[in-house]
Each structure stands twice: as C-alpha cells, then as structure tokens.
Amino acid sequence: MMENQMQMTADDQHRAETFGALEADPNGKKPNEAGAKLDAGKNRLGLVLCGFARALQEVGAVGTYGANKYTDNGWMEVPDGERRYTDAMLRHLMREATGEECDPDTGLHHAAHAAWNALARLDLALRKAPNAELTGRASAACEGPR
C-alpha cells in the first residue's frame, strides 16, 4: 500500500507540486479497480459536522436568534464586519472568562456566540480573498513556510 504511494515519478512529483496532490485511493487501489474511491487527502467535513454536532446545534441556535432579531444572512452586509464580529467574539469570551456561562439576553452559551462570531469573521475574510473558493486548502494569506 505505502509502496504504491511512495513511488512517484518526476512528472508526478512536478504535477503534485504544481496542481496539488493527485487524487488517490487511500488503500492504494487503482482508479478503475472495483471499490476504488479517489478521496485521499480530501476535506473530511464529517469530522467537524459529526464530531461537533452538539456545539454546532448551539451555534445554529445563535444564528437563528440573530436571523429572527435582524434578517436572514444580514450579517454579510454589516459595514466593517470583520472588526465588529471580532469585537463581539471577544466580548463573549470575556464574559465567559468572568464566569458567566450563558448570555443573559439569549440564554445561549457565550462560547456558542463566540464561535458564531468567529465563523462570521472567517467567512467575511474568505469572501474578500482573491479567487475565493471552497477548496479546503489554505489561502495564500495563510500559507507559511513549508
């Protein structure tokens, strides 16, 4: 299995460096072999969606509260949103740090509010990035030394 993945020609190496990892079956199966699934190295969203199901339910409740209070997805149009959602996130983290578990206005966990604000600011940052795509790869702004 590992031998197949480690034997890479110079052309394969060049393609991988230029275009990203080549699609491969994590079990070493060839693309046309029965049972092959070329998903090695792909984003495994189930680790987030299933692994954090309870937390995401609470974050969803924060989003629902906000949509009912304001408008559906109105957060995308808030002027200077990244800064303002960063400030909101920090306010919730500070209240939690002082021992207040739940927001008195919503009854929801401060941690869920902080997570929602973190997602909002991340999404706004990704939207303004050049060639913003849902690739699952680090943006050029986040690439560090390898």
Q: What is the pLDDT of residues 76-107, one digit of tens each?
A: 999 999 999 999 999 999 999 999 999 999 99
Q: Is residue 137 assigned to a domain?
A: no
Residue 8: pLDDT over 60? no
Q: Within a domain: residue 143?
A: no
For position 9, what pLDDT does the model report? 65
Bigger pLDDT: 141 or 119? 119
Neighbours of 139 (CB within 10 A): 14
Q: Are residues 15 and 80 in the same domain?
A: no
| Same domain? 62 vs 35 | no
- Asked if residue 92 lies in contact with residue 113, where contact means CB atoms within 8 angstroms, the answer is yes
Per-residue HEC secondary structure of 7-51 comes to CCCHHHHHHHHHHCCCCCCCCCCCCCCCCCCCCCCCCCCHHHHCC
Please check whether residues 38 and 96 belong to one and the same domain.
Answer: no
Amino acid at 89: M
Q: Total domain count for the chain?
A: 2
Q: Which structural domain range is residue 96 located in?
A: 47-129
Do 60 and 116 belong together in one domain?
Answer: yes
In a domain, 134, yes or no: no
Q: What's this model's pTM, rounded to 2 decimal places?
A: 0.72
Is residue 142 included in any domain, yes or no?
no
Same domain, 51 and 121: yes
pLDDT tens per residue across span 20-71: 556 888 888 888 889 888 888 889 899 999 999 999 999 999 999 999 999 9
Same domain, 29 and 57: no
Does residue 110 sit in the same domain as residue 89?
Answer: yes
> Would you tell me how many other CB atoms lie within 10 Å of the CB of residue 4?
13
Are residues 63 and 14 part of one domain? no
Q: What's residue 131's pLDDT?
A: 65
User: Domain check: are 28 and 97 in the same one?
Assistant: no
Does residue 24 fall inside a structural domain? yes
- Sign of the alpha-carbon torsion through 89, 95, 97, 100: negative
Label residue 3 by pLDDT band (50, 70, 90): very low
Whether residue 5 is predicted with pLDDT greater than 80 in this model: the reply is: no
